A and B are shown apart, each in its own frame.
Chain A
């Protein structure tokens, strides 16, 4: 066999990294590439928008009211004689026209782009973080059981907290103290091993972590999502951050299910068993071995989630629950403009088409990513 050992190296398929292969597949999908390009453009617009429209003397002033110039169609030149020099739009022309208060729609769109971008990213960031955390715990530690004494301690502690916050300091601190004592006792008994066993009844397995998390998902899924978001946004003080948080906290359930399913199948795989057999710690297994495998589908759903979040924010703004004025968002430009729909259709169409294009690009990009990562489609070529 030795005489032609080298010839055994027959030409085989060139090796490519996973990422490179993904990019090759992704590149095939023209719509997805289009989505990516639009996304980059939108990102740059939003970033330059927030720079150009903020500060004491912004380059484009979205809040500048010129009542004598109201409802001008796009591409009209301002009447220079009736305007103060500082009121003249920076470009010397109303690129997207003006609204009913004579504000420059182009400047307002620039400002709104940043709102859409941040709402999309922060809301999805929150939902993905919560989703990965919950899903990861359910998938990896799901088989652990919570014992009755855990529940008891948690109950005592939360009762103490509630009593304290209500105002009865005495009983509240007493409850907290008892709870802390219990924790200390538990820790000691763990360290000392068998000697300090608490009574058997308290060690009864009550409910598995997986059950708790998945029931929580079920409960959240019972709420009609837009209605829930609307309710909470209406109740809490109006601000951009509240909207992001609310959207994020009401949309993590899909990611949780995803990550859990992925983890459940991954933890049965041989490489995880091998890592465990080598004595690798839980967190290293989770973050080093399992997360990279689970993160791809999460990325896809996150991309599409951004699209949904932008739509939701626009819907809220449209109903008057969005980012408070005078800050412009694409939703409230449209909402303000709807009264002039027949006289000034650009006030409806410009933000509407803007939202449409941005949401479309995220959807196309996400679907392209999903197709590229779907092994079944890959096999079929």
Chain B
């Protein structure tokens, strides 16, 4: 066990190192430089560009820039090129804004997918299964931004509640209850949007896992013992079908930082995704690279947690 953890840590660190190099190269080898973003801007005089280049080590060779960048990142001194604010603080603020979306979305995804998927599998081929299947194809196929507009039109025209942004501007003087409802309305639509794809994919996956397990010999054994169908499905089959999903808990983690660029820009939600989008537009390399680095860390941590969880849940695996 300990050796497994150790080996996996070393491997993940090496991977992380290469990720940092690759992302650095992708950004810096692409044509164009941040100092040349807007040559017509009168603020970008040649002297300014020169000072800018010097200040952010852009005049040094790439590997020196790389070392400087990651030194700054690990000491927390890294600053945005756009406004000289600390990148980590910026990310943290945006992260707190994205967090509610993430939490509500994840809860929706996981609480809805399982009942739907299990029911589909048990009544395979029935009306419920077929409509759930078609609906999930529809939800997988619908472009997120299009669905967003459909929901906005529906909600705004039928319920007359504003949904753009995190809260309605100028509502400061109204009652506490109104403020809360306002917040919830603003939170709900983007969360539902963020969850739809996940619900569709996950419920299909639950269904196929469940079907796979229902065909196993031990389910037949359970029936042969005289167990009632509920116990057969929800104890013997479900317990086995759940194994792969336990490991998926780890894979939620990367979703923390991603946020959805498209959804956050449609709803003007000042979260991580929108910040990343703005950083890309402004060629603010420190922010792009830091977001990338943190998300790589989260992906690796997620797979690590998955592996560990798998060891814990499946009695067949012992190290």
- Report if A and B touch in the complex (beta carbons < 8 A): yes
Which of chain A's residues 26-82 have a Cβ closer than 8 Å to chain B?
A: 31
Cβ A231 vs Cβ B300 within 8 A: no
- Is B146 interfacial (CB-CB < 8 Å)? yes
Kindly state whether residue A300 has any CB partner on chain B within 8 Å.
no
A sample of 13 more A-B contacts (CB under 8 A), given A31-B137, A219-B15, A230-B261, is A31-B134, A219-B18, A221-B299, A224-B292, A230-B276, A231-B292, A235-B30, A319-B261, A331-B143, A334-B143, A352-B143, A356-B142, A356-B143
Residues of A within 8 A of B299 (CB): 221-222
B152 CB contact (under 8 Å) in A334, A341, A356: A341
**Does A376 sit within 8 A of B, measured CB to CB?**
yes
Partner of A231, one of B26, B152, B296: B26
Contacts of A353 in B (CB 8 A): 146
B277 within 8 A of A: yes
26 A/B residue pairs, CB under 8 Å, sorted by A = A31-B134, A219-B22, A221-B299, A222-B16, A222-B296, A223-B295, A223-B296, A224-B257, A227-B261, A227-B291, A227-B292, A230-B277, A231-B27, A231-B292, A232-B30, A235-B30, A237-B31, A314-B143, A319-B262, A319-B277, A334-B145, A341-B149, A342-B153, A348-B149, A352-B146, A353-B146
Contact of B281 among A226, A234, A236, A307 (CB under 8 A): A234
Q: With an 8 A cutoff between CB atoms, is B184 at the interface?
A: no
A222 and B30 form a contact (CB under 8 A):
no
Assembled-state Cα–Cα distance A62/B232 (Å): 60
Report the bound CA distance from A307 to B142 in whole Å: 10
A338 within 8 A of B: yes
A224 contacts B15, CB within 8 Å?
Answer: no
Interface string of A362-380 (1 = CB under 8 A from B): 0110010000000010001
A219 touches B26 (CB 8 A): no
**B140 CB within 8 Å of chain A:** yes
The answer on a CB contact under 8 Å between A230 and B280 is yes
Chain B, residues 116-151, CB within 8 Å of chain A (1/0): the string is 000000000000000000100110111111100110
Q: A247 within 8 Å of B by Cβ?
A: no
How many whole Å from B230's CB to the nearest CB in chain A? 23
Contact (Cβ within 8 A) B143 A359: yes
Q: A355 within 8 Å of B by Cβ?
A: yes
A318 near B138 with CB under 8 A, answer no
A239 to B149 Cα, complex, angstroms: 27
Q: Which residues of B contact A376 (CB under 8 A)?
A: 212, 215
CA of A315 to CA of B15, assembled, Å:
29
Query: Using a CB-CB cutoff of 8 Å, which residues 167-226 of chain A contact chain B?
Result: 215, 218-219, 221-224, 226
Q: Does A254 contact B (CB under 8 A)?
A: no
Q: Mark B5-18, 1 if CB is under 8 A from A, else 0.
A: 00000000011101
For the complex of A and B, 8 pairs with smallest distance between CB atoms? A352-B146, A235-B30, A360-B141, A222-B296, A359-B141, A222-B19, A234-B280, A222-B299
**Set A224, A235, A311: member contacting B27, Cβ < 8 A:** A235
Choose among A223, A319, A355, A363 the residue that contacts B292 (Cβ–Cβ < 8 A): A223
CA distance A335 to B262 in the complex (A): 11
Q: Does B240 contact A (CB under 8 A)?
A: no
Q: How far is the CB of B38 from chain A (nearest CB, A)?
A: 15
Q: Does A297 reach chain B (CB closer than 8 Å)?
A: no
Question: Any chain B CB within 8 A of the CB of A345?
Answer: yes
Residues 264 to 291 of chain B near chain A (Cβ within 8 Å): 265, 276-277, 280-281, 283, 288, 291
Whether a CB of chain A sits under 8 angstroms from the CB of B42 is no
Is the pair A356, B146 in contact by a Cβ cutoff of 8 Å?
yes
* Contact, CB under 8 Å: B262 / A222: no
Contact A232 B141 (CB under 8 A): no
Count of B interface residues, CB-CB < 8 Å = 46
Q: CA separation between A215 and B22, bound complex, in Å?
A: 13
Classify the interface of chain A: helix, strand, loop or mixed: helix
Contact of B26 among A222, A232, A356, A364 (CB under 8 A): A232
B-chain residues with CB within 8 Å of residue A232 when the two chains form the complex: 26, 30
B172 proximal to A (CB < 8 A): no
Question: Which B residues lie within 8 Å of A226 (CB)?
Answer: 258, 261
Cβ-based interface call for B244 (8 A)? no
CB atoms of A315 and B153 under 8 A apart:
no
Pair B215/A380 contact, Cβ less than 8 Å:
yes
CB neighbours of B257 from chain A (8 A): 224
Task: Tell me which residues across on chain B come within 8 A of A235, comparing CB atoms.
Answer: 26-27, 30-32, 283
* B254 beta carbon closer than 8 Å to chain A: yes
- Whole-angstrom distance from the CB of A372 to the nearest CB of chain B? 15
Q: Which of B290-310 touch A at CB < 8 Å?
A: 291-292, 295-296, 299-300
Contacts of A380 in B (CB 8 A): 215
Interface residues of A in 308-332 (CB under 8 A from B): 311, 314-315, 318-319, 331
Contacting pair B141 A356 (CB below 8 A):
yes
Closest to B21 in A: A219
> Chain A residues with Cβ under 8 A from B137's Cβ?
31, 360, 363-364, 367
Query: Does B140 lie within 8 Å of A363, measured CB to CB?
Result: yes
A236 pairs with B144, CB closer than 8 A: no
Docked CA distance A227–B261 (Å): 8
Within 8 A of A (CB), among B184-216: 212, 215
B65 CB to nearest chain A CB (Å): 15
- Quote the shortest CB–CB distance from B176 to chain A (angstroms): 32
Assembly CA distance A271 to B299 (angstroms): 40
**Residue of chain A at shortest CB distance from B28:** A235
A359 / chain B contacts, CB cutoff of 8 Å: 140-143
A352 to B147, CA, bound (A): 8
CA distance A319 to B265 in the complex (A): 9
Query: B141, A307: Cβ atoms under 8 Å?
Result: yes
Tell me if B23 is interfacial: C-beta within 8 Å of chain A: yes
Annotate A233-268 by CB proximity to B: 1 below 8 A, 0 otherwise.
011110000000000000000000000000000000
Knowing A227-B292, A235-B32, the reply to whether A334 touches B18 (Cβ < 8 A) is no
